[in-house]
């Protein structure tokens, strides 16, 4: 008898898995796709192939599924494929879920941890001529950029001895990729650098003040910033059947600052009030100051408090917030200024200006009436020079994901290009791919590629320029 998926906030509505792979050529398009869009947009997200073990589920634990849109000559094609990790293959053979992120200490007897390589469900990047699906608990997982065939975990010629963050940072000037990983249940972090050709050139370890889920970090032209927030990891809690990851409001945050030309021994820790950031927009060094624009929560969403209570919904909302870290000051404080009172997440920029002083930022926002949960009804553009925001609000019952910037050319001025974002059409129960003029989002999409099915809410995507 087939087991049904339980009713769960992260398995209902557009969180529900798609559970199919398909290919679609020449999508129906309303408007006109710019001819200078040539390449592929990839989006990663969870799509559990089987109902969760024991009926318990967390959005972060679903099997990775890649959705790819290929642009050429004003036309768009689509395909999607699961990432065939060891977990995916074992569960496909068994015909059921074998392990659970929320209760990793009690796997199914059929489960084999040997060669386990996670779910590869969070981000997808193209670097060093490799397309890599990322999930912070494991090695990168290589995908064929054209067929989406799973190649397998990638360890940079066996030099990468740890997992890798789902959010590495690529220097647009040098092509270097900066990354890190954190320990599950200990306070050890690793820091490593991969050059433009895809060779690992630096690897080091250091200790953070405590064991924490470190989802993302920041890099400038001169500094690397490691944020340690009190979303703690406690294996004793997990062994007792409680949540292994939980919010501890009584702990301070610690922000580690390292000179980019220095070493982990040079990290200086700044203690700050508890808060949480999943994703920064960008960071840069200006004289003796580091400027970091973040989507800051008062407390972490999606995870319980250490006492088992649920997060406060109002505190678990992110807003665009600018941090100023004065490296010449002895105050040990970070000055913070909220730049936008509307709820937002999934911040992006014109990545040609990553790590540098920049002007244009983009994000998904909730403006006015919006769907409940971690979903957003608007795409927003924040101009850091004029301090003005413009936005486009989707229709009622619709929601939009992360907007990804694509320049009109490599030589174009900052912001001259397009935003690509997936939209869920709630009334029709299907999805569209929206294309905006990046600095005129208020006018609405210039082209809409229509899908006959929906794409479940997911996490992150990126663009690979065609050749």
The confidence score (pLDDT) of residue 329 equals 83
**Contact 150/143 with Cβ under 8 angstroms?**
yes
pLDDT tens across 252-261, in order?
999 999 999 9
Pairing of strands 319-326, 289-297: antiparallel
DSSP E strands: which ranges in 33-187?
39-46, 64-72, 75-82, 123-127, 130-134, 141-143, 150-153, 169-170, 177-182
Q: Could you tell me which residues come within 8 angstroms of residue 262 by beta carbon, excluding any fewer than 6 positions away? A: none
Q: What are phi and psi of 30, to 5 degrees?
A: -95, 125
Q: How far is CA 69 from CA 78, 80, 292, in A?
A: 5, 9, 32
pLDDT of residue 372: 59
Task: Quote helix, strand, coil % in the chain, to nearest 5.
Answer: 5, 40, 50
Segments of the chain scoring below 70 in pLDDT:
1-2, 102-103, 331, 370-374
User: Quick one: pLDDT at residue 374?
Assistant: 60
Q: What is the pLDDT of residue 1?
A: 44
∠197-201-202 over CA atoms, to 5°? 145
CB-CB neighbours of 243 under 10 Å: 18
Sequence-distant (≥ 6) Cβ neighbours of residue 325 within 8 angstroms: 225, 255, 257, 270, 289, 290, 292, 334
Note the pLDDT of residue 154: 97
């Amino acid at each position: 008898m087939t087991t049904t998926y339980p009713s769960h906030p992260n398995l209902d509505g557009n969180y529900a898995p798609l559970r199919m792979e398909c290919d679609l050529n020449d999508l129906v398009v309303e408007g006109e796709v710019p001819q200078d869009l040539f390449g592929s947009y990839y989006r990663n997200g969870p799509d559990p192939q089987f109902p969760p073990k024991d009926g318990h589920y967390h959005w972060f634990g679903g099997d990775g599924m890649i959705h790819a849109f290929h642009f050429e000559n004003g036309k768009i094609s689509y395909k999607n494929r699961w990432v065939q990790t060891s977990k995916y293959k074992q569960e496909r053979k068994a015909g059921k879920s074998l392990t659970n992120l929320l209760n990793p200490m009690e796997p199914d007897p059929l489960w084999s941890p040997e060669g386990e390589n996670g779910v590869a469900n969070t981000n997808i990047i193209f670097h060093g001529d490799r397309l890599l699906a990322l999930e912070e608990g494991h090695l990168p997982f290589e995908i064929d950029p054209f067929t989406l065939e799973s190649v397998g975990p990638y360890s940079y010629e066996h030099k990468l001895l740890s997992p890798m963050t789902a959010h590495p940072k690529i220097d647009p000037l040098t092509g270097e990729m900066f990354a890190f990983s954190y320990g599950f249940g200990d306070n050890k972090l690793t820091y490593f650098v991969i050059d433009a050709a895809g060779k690992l050139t630096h690897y080091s370890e250091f200790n953070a003040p405590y064991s924490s889920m470190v989802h993302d970090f920041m890099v400038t032209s001169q500094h690397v910033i490691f944020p340690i927030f009190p979303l703690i990891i406690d294996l004793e809690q997990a062994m007792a059947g409680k949540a292994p990851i939980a919010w501890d409001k009584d702990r301070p945050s610690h922000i580690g600052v390292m000179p980019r030309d220095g070493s982990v021994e040079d990290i200086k820790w700044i203690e700050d009030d508890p808060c949480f950031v999943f994703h920064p927009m960008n960071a840069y060094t200006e004289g003796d100051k580091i400027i970091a624009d973040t989507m800051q929560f008062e407390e972490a969403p999606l995870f319980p408090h250490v006492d088992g209570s649920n997060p406060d919904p109002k505190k678990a909302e992110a807003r665009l917030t600018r941090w100023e870290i004065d490296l010449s000051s002895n105050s040990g404080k970070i000055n913070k200024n909220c730049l936008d009172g509307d709820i937002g997440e999934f911040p992006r920029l014109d990545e040609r200006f990553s790590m540098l002083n920049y002007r244009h930022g983009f994000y998904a926002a909730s403006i006015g009436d919006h769907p409940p949960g971690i979903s957003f009804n608007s795409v927003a553009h924040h101009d850091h020079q004029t301090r003005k925001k413009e936005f486009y609000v989707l229709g009622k019952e619709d929601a939009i994901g992360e907007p990804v910037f694509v320049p009109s050319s490599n030589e174009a001025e900052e912001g001259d290009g397009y935003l690509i974002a997936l939209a869920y059409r709630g009334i029709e129960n299907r999805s569209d791919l929206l294309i905006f003029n990046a600095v005129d989002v208020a006018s609405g999409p210039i082209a809409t590629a229509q899908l006959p099915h929906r794409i479940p809410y997911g996490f992150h995507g990126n663009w690979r320029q065609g050749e």
